[in-house]
Amino acid sequence: MDELVNKKNIINSLVWKIIELGGSQLITFVIQIILARILSPSEFGTMSILLVFVNIAQVFVQGGFNVALVQKKEADNLDFSSVFYFSLGISFLLYILLFYTAPWISEFYGDYNLTIYLRTIGIVFFAGAVNSVQLAYLQRKLQFQVSARSSLIANTISGIIGIVAAYMSFGIWALLIQQCMYQILNCIIVAILSDWKPVMKFSLYRIKEMFIYGSSILGSNLISNIYLEIRTLIIGRTYNSTSLGYYKRGEQFPNVIVRNVDGAIQAVLLPSLSSQQSDIKIVKRMVRRSLKTSSFLIFPAMVGMAVTAKNIVVVVLGEKWIPATSLLIIFSLTYAIWPIITINLQPMRALGRSDLILKTEIIKKSIGLVIILITVPISIKAVAIGFMIERYVETIINAIPNKKLINYTYIEQIKDILPSAVQAILMGIIIYFVNFLKLDTLKTLGIQIVVGASIYIALSYILNNEAYTYLLNTTKSYLKRS
């Protein structure tokens, strides 16, 4: 894999990954806006409960093998095919389990329609098993243009189908149809565009070999996913699906931006770091560059979103979603630090220290559970604030192992992100005062976006922000090569 990892290929892969995530997220974002204006908060809340079980099951389906396939020094078609068949077998067992437990889940939430909903959406387990291996292959080969095209096409077609179903008064079935169609179409399109196909061979030895590494990733991801979904389950049970709808919608906007930018960097960073795992200095340099770059892009977006939260909700979703405003502010400030959390995990993964990932996850989730128990009885807003506090604590816990692994201290990380953070705060203060111009909501939001972007770029130029200079030079060189 070494020959694939050079500056040109990394940048090219990053561009395609941003196109994939950015295009897909933009399409999804537009579709969700249209659906939010047609459907009710309660229907979105119910869908959020269904996705909890899907997301947790997908962790078992992947079993950490997707990361193991990317991280492994030498991986051939026997490795990929073995994981492919093993994952399909796990997905079948999980679907049977969900099929028979669906009535119990429905009774727990007092909504007996959940039974048929769960049995329907469980179909995506099989598509998830196939797609996880496909994407691991593409990620290892840095063939992000294939996954980008597939994701964009699948998102567009499934989104149109979902919108048509919503207009035809299908209710929550519009969301279910959209979700299932996306997963199925994505698998089919990748199979057509990719040069990887499974062979009729299976090696239990290869599975055991990768499971040694993947089991810790599985444990870590399982703890992380179950923990992340606990809030959804508790809110849906303690309060109601409408309240859950507001909570999830408040999280959606910052999540879209962060998953787009940070997700692209993470997808390219892991195989790049894995190929250079023998040279700690190079690993540290790449991690620092990734942290500076993602922070430079994410900080202004999150601060800007927090300042303009009410205007965004009214313009984009409509006034029926105004209760989600305060939650949007809280989640924007939470997701601003997401790069510090995710990037600090990558050296541990690339260097094969999945044991450290598991240990840190247990510590973080133990702290988080205490916070959940304290905040749930208070209010939904308190739950969101607790989530924010926990994430800030998580930045410290994730950074600690990297002091020893790559000699990258937490103080160094703060210094690396501080210039972008200061610029974003100054920008936020200035655009806040645009609200006092007493213009209509759409004009106010438009002015805030334009002024905010202009101020942030101007400050980057005046203060000679290193991340700004790097991105500018990299973009110029990429355009010249193109």
Q: Encode pLDDT of 198-219 as tens digits.
A: 888 888 888 887 777 667 667 7
Q: Encode pLDDT of 366-406 as tens digits.
A: 888 899 889 988 888 999 999 999 988 988 888 887 777 77
Per-residue pLDDT, 264: 59
Per-residue pLDDT, 111: 83
Residue 284 and residue 289: Cα distance in Å, rounded? Answer: 9
Q: What is the mean pLDDT of residues 305-320?
A: 89
436-454 exposure pattern, b = at least 16 Cβ within 10 A, e = fewer: eeeeebeebbeebbebbee
Who's near 270: CB < 8 A, 6+ residues apart? 67, 70, 71, 139, 346, 349, 350
Per-residue pLDDT, 333: 93
Weakest mean pLDDT among 52-66, 99-113, 288-302: 52-66
Weakest mean pLDDT among 10-19, 248-257, 381-390, 438-447: 10-19
Question: What ranges in 239-324 are assigned the alpha helix state H?
Answer: 241-275, 280-307, 309-312
20-44 exposure pattern, b = at least 16 Cβ within 10 A, e = fewer: bbbbbbebbbebbeebbebbebbbb
Weakest mean pLDDT among 85-99, 236-250, 268-282: 268-282
In contact, 459 and 426? CB cutoff 8 Å: yes
In contact, 16 and 148? CB cutoff 8 Å: yes
Confidence of residue 18 (pLDDT cuts 50, 70, 90): low
Element containing residue 478 per DSSP (H, E): helix 466-481
pLDDT above 70 covers a percentage of the chain that reads 83
Per-residue pLDDT, 238: 82
Per-residue pLDDT, 424: 94
Instruction: Pick the more confident residue, 149 or 296.
Output: 296
Per-residue pLDDT, 23: 65
pLDDT at 255 over 70: yes
Instruction: Pick the more confident residue, 353 or 235.
Output: 235
pLDDT above 90 covers a percentage of the chain that reads 22
DSSP 200: S
pLDDT at 145 over 80: no
Q: What is the mean pLDDT of residues 333-361?
A: 77
Global pTM reads: 0.70
Q: What is the mean pLDDT of residues 57-84?
A: 75
Q: What is the mean pLDDT of residues 329-346?
A: 85
Weakest mean pLDDT among 4-8, 47-51, 83-87, 191-195: 4-8
Per-residue pLDDT, 5: 46
pLDDT at 4 over 50: no
Tell me the one-letter amino acid at 191: A
Who's near 332: CB < 8 A, 6+ residues apart? 253, 254, 302, 303, 305, 306, 309
Residue 83 and residue 66: Cα distance in Å, rounded? Answer: 8
Other C-beta atoms closer than 10 Å to the C-beta of 133 total: 26
Phi, psi of 221 (to 5 degrees): -65, -35
Residue 474 and residue 482: Cα distance in Å, rounded? Answer: 12
In the numeric block, which tokens belong to residue 101? 């437990």
pLDDT at 12 over 70: no
pLDDT at 233 over 70: yes
229-258 exposure pattern, b = at least 16 Cβ within 10 A, e = fewer: bbbbbbbbeebebbbbbbbbbbbbbbbbbb
pLDDT at 314 over 50: yes
Other C-beta atoms closer than 10 Å to the C-beta of 285 total: 14
Confidence of residue 327 (pLDDT cuts 50, 70, 90): very high
Residue 160 and residue 149: Cα distance in Å, rounded? Answer: 17
Task: Name the nearest CA neighbour of 134 among 87, 201, 71.
Answer: 87
Weakest mean pLDDT among 43-52, 71-80, 472-481: 472-481
Per-residue pLDDT, 389: 93
Q: What are the DSSP calls for 411-440, one per residue?
A: HHHHHHHHHHHHHHHHHHHHHHGGGGG---
Residue 280 and residue 449: Cα distance in Å, rounded? Answer: 40
Per-residue pLDDT, 197: 84
Who's near 401: CB < 8 A, 6+ residues apart? 344, 348, 353, 356, 360
Per-residue pLDDT, 479: 61
Q: Encode pLDDT of 177-202 as tens digits.
A: 998 999 899 889 888 888 888 888 88
Distances (CA, A) of 99 to 92, 103, 363, 380, 404: 11, 8, 33, 31, 46
In contact, 201 and 81? CB cutoff 8 Å: yes
